Chain A
Amino acid sequence: MQHVVIIGNGISGITAARHIRKQSDCKITVISGETDHFFSRTALMYVYMGHMKFEHTKPYEDWFWEKNRIELKRAWVKTVDFEEKKLYFRLPNDNKEAKIGGSISYDKLILALGSTPNKFGWKGQNLKGVQGLYSYQDLESLQEITPSIKKAVIVGGGLIGVELAEMLHSRGIEVTFLVRENSFWNTVIPPEESALISRHIKENHINIKFSSELDEIIGDENGQVKAIKTKNGDKIECQFVGLTVGVSPNISLLKVPQGNMIGREKPAFLLGVGGIKLNLGILVNEYLETNIPDVYAIGDCVEHENPQKSRKKLEQIWYTGRIMGETIAQTIAGKRTKYQPGIFFNSAKFFDIEYQTYGQVPAELPEDTKTFYWEHSTGRISVRINYTTESQAVTGMNTFGIRMRHKVWDEWILSGKSIEYVLENLSKANFDPEFFKQHEAEILKKYNTETGSSLTLKSKKGIFSKIF
């Protein structure tokens, strides 16, 4: 029986395992050093804030794995021998010793190694009280450090930065947020949305410093962080520094040739010729195959050699990880399948404001594209729709504070519905709970005013329209 080994029990690895099991009877082993069971990484913040317990982040009960014959192995992989098709484990409490703690053979190997928080070689970045937020271990260390602190600095204005700010804020810790750009997340979202979120972060008493970059982290005599210095020369006192300047593929395991430690003259793998091809991540083709036969890579650790049009080489989000897992399972089960994510989508929550996006809404408007933006008078709700100049077909949307229906937007963008059609039928995409105030009429009015059109709403939502 074919043995499929998956390194990594995150969303990609586990999705792959589940879907392989649905389609095949092969032996499946999932290896993780992080936790015994799959958990939702995105929910770690809720554990810290006391909304839930760690056990609640586990999407499947513990009996699920045995019932579905998915073997779980708790261990860190030390190195891979691609020629012999063997993995070697690290010993517990291993400190880079040239010893190994057992091995396992595979027929097919799926690398779902995830990613790791970036550290850009700042002075003091390894002090006590400096960390990122990615793994279960990060949560543990946060739980240990933060009860005794009063002030924290977060470096990097991205999604995890806001989450970390919200987390610390929930424990009454004073947070200063260093953002390199002059407005929040404005490399990803357009200026209006960026301003909306910046206001909301401030509204939550987060001291956000724009155009500020970390220069160095200063420690005390115990190796504990006591302050940071920005490139503008500001010194900010703090007992904790959160580094949330993005993540990189977690490929260190594959970078160091460790052949001699497994008793082979030749390194187990080499960079470049004869080894696994790496760049920023593990390079894969459109079939998620690496350059080594029977070795695949999925999820955050992947770098696409030939990404689809309008997709990035590195796309480290939950949903793409899951889609890669679904796709690779087909290949493993015998049907070689291309990775073909559909219309892009993503979502996040910034304190109390939810965000969803469908299709392409880059921070800077492309030349052949027009944009329509509406914002509610409270400044907490907004909708942006991008469409092509030529055919008026919608290409993407951002929404803050209104929930939209994925399926409807997916169809609209895929079939190239015109902006006018979309605005007239916008209620069809409304996914807010019953009784919520609907803004479609106001949105349409703004469009009519701006363009001199006279569109009218074609559909309504609301509890009674559905019933009868």
Chain B
Amino acid sequence: MLQKLGLIIFIAAFGLFIGTLGMNNYTLTDEILKENFKEEALFDAKIELASMVDQSYSNSYTFTNELSEGIKQLNKVYNAQQAWDKKIYEDTILSIVKASSNGYLTDNKGIMFLLTFGLAIFGALLFILPEAKIPAGIKNNGIYYNPAMTRKWLGICIGTFLISFYIILYFKPQYIANWTMLVDPVSKLINGGEASRWFMYGFLYTISILVMGIRYIIKYRHSKYQIIRTLSIMFFQTCIAFILPEIMSNLNMPSADLKNMWPLDYSFFFNYRLDKLLASGAFGIFLLVWGIALFVVGVPVMVYFFGKRWYCSWVCGCGGLAETLGDPFRQLSDKSLKAWKLERYLIHTVLAFAIIMTIGVLYTYFTGSYNLLGFIPTESLKSSYGFLIGSIFSGVVGTGFYPLMGNRVWCRFGCPLAAYLGILQRFKSKFRITTNGGQCISCGNCSTHCEMGIDVRAYAQKGQDIVRSSCVGCGVCSAVCPRGVLNLENAETGSRIMIAPDVLLGNLMEK
């Protein structure tokens, strides 16, 4: 009953959230143009957008469309003139839209924030919390009868929403200007300024991890490993990834997500970031050294002792979202041998791409030449990586495909850092998943609920330790095993059982 009410409240709040996109009136003024255009472009803008100025629009879509169209024309001219510095980017359009808006939403951001985000969180919790009343233990009841979790209509709807969200967020953020407005009050509170699209995204991301993290903890509350791991994810996302960078930029320091690292943070060595760090004195140098030490020293040492899980399922933001928001979809990952093959090709290709791209960027940074080895254009290497991997793969596909291909699409097929961690885990780590003698009954719970698509059972039923580069150590295979067969363990590297015994423990026949 309470749960149904929660669901209704959540859906209503979500509906209103979508509805806010159509709210407000819009009037573009000279003042706004002056604020948002560089002086050299202002004159052109005034001419190009003359027909819009001081007109009142009641439809956000028409207004944004017309504005975008006008700016597209301007950019065309600048492209032809090769006047790169005059070009106008999405974020500028976004702030023009924001500045031009007036009406209920603009005047009542606080109320609207509570009615959308506030109510959605409230509804979600009302739906989630009563689950704590049923006895603790694995309760995957009905997953395969649920249209959201089995690629049925609801799953497809959720996938479509997520995919569209990422496309708009990355490429046409001006259309979701109103969503950034909703979180302006939060942004003001934390950093004193208005919310950018990335603040809005970061907030939404953090809220998702927190709310769905609570769900996860309740679902797996019989396992202390799961509780502690999820609290870790929630902490790193909220404090280290979301709040700390805001505080840093508040203090006029270069802001950084201290747990993010190259090559996942692919722009770490981009010239503008290096310049900024190098220009920020001792703290900037510290960030630079920290960022390099993380992947040069931190990763090999930590993976040696704990496996890649220390990062992928305890710290990482992408992993954090996958483990929490993505948990209902974990069973959708493909377990076939074919998928495993594809995974290895793809993820190592991305790693190679990231390395070459970064070498190119650094080459350009230090030599000023835009052609690596005389023929590789570093700028297009950089921009194509950003577009193909940074935006399309990690965002649109990585999260958008949760309800279609499972919650670790990016981590499994695309993440270059996961590839790097994985190589170390496979060849130089104490970590393994141990199988318990002859106790496996081949039921397949472990494989079904492995988000990385590892056929865990294939190992368990022949008594071979699971040593796989992709394993993020989420521990769910161990949790869902009904016979106590699987355990995540660290021990001497040489003690990992890599070759299955002829027969399992419990058979004393003569061989």
Interface residues of A, Cβ cutoff 8 Å to B: 11, 19, 40, 42-43, 46-47, 49-53, 56-59, 61, 170, 203-204, 318-319, 322-323, 326-327, 330, 337-343, 345, 347-349, 351-352, 354, 356, 403-407, 410, 431-437, 463, 466-467
Contact = CB atoms under 8 A, between A and B. Distances in A.
Interface in B434-466: 434, 436-439, 441-445, 447-448, 457-458, 461
Contacts of A407: 436-437, 505
Interface stretch (B61-69, B132-140, B369-377): B132-140
Contact of A356 (B146, B439, B441, B458): B439
A327 B489 contact: no
A59 B457 contact: yes
A58 to B, nearest CB: 8
A323 B224 contact: no
Interface residues of B, number: 58
A19 B501 CA distance: 12
Contacts of B141: 49-51, 170
Given A52-B444, A466-B491, 8 more contacts: A61-B336, A170-B142, A319-B439, A323-B507, A323-B509, A354-B483, A405-B436, A467-B305
Contacts of B475: 433
B505 A342 contact: yes
A47 to B, nearest CB: 8
A431 B436 contact: yes
A356 B142 contact: no
A406 B444 CA distance: 20
B144 interface: yes
Contacts of A342: 505-508
Nearest to B455: A61
Contacts of B508: 340-342
Contact of B143 (A51, A323, A326, A467): A51
Contacts of B430: 466-467
Contacts of A403: 436, 484, 487
A-B pairs with the 6 shortest C-beta distances? A406-B437, A352-B137, A403-B484, A43-B443, A51-B140, A349-B482
B17 to A, nearest CB: 30
A46 B443 contact: yes
Nearest to A436: B224
B142 A50 contact: yes
A431 B142 contact: no
A437 B136 CA distance: 16
B488 A46 contact: no
Contacts of B461: 59
B1 to A, nearest CB: 14
A157 B511 CA distance: 39
Contacts of A323: 503, 506-507, 509
Interface string B326-350: 0000010000110000000000000
B479 A433 contact: yes
Given A56-B448, A61-B336, A318-B441, A433 B487 contact: yes
Contacts of B479: 433
A318 B444 CA distance: 15
Contacts of B142: 49-50, 170
B55 to A, nearest CB: 56
A46 B483 CA distance: 14
B437 A405 contact: yes
Contact of B504 (A47, A203, A322, A436): A322
A338 B437 contact: no
Nearest to A330: B509
A437 B439 CA distance: 22
**Which interface residue of B138, B228, B437 has the most chain A CB atoms within 10 A?**
B437
A406 to B, nearest CB: 3
A203 B137 CA distance: 13
Contact of A431 (B135, B442, B484): B484
Interface in B455-505: 457-458, 461, 475, 478-480, 482-484, 487-491, 503-505
B484 A356 contact: yes
B140 A49 contact: yes
Given A341-B506, A341-B507, A51 B445 contact: yes
A235 B336 CA distance: 51
B144 A50 contact: yes
Contact of B442 (A40, A340, A406): A40
Interface string B254-269: 0000000000000000
A50 B145 contact: yes
A19 B439 CA distance: 19
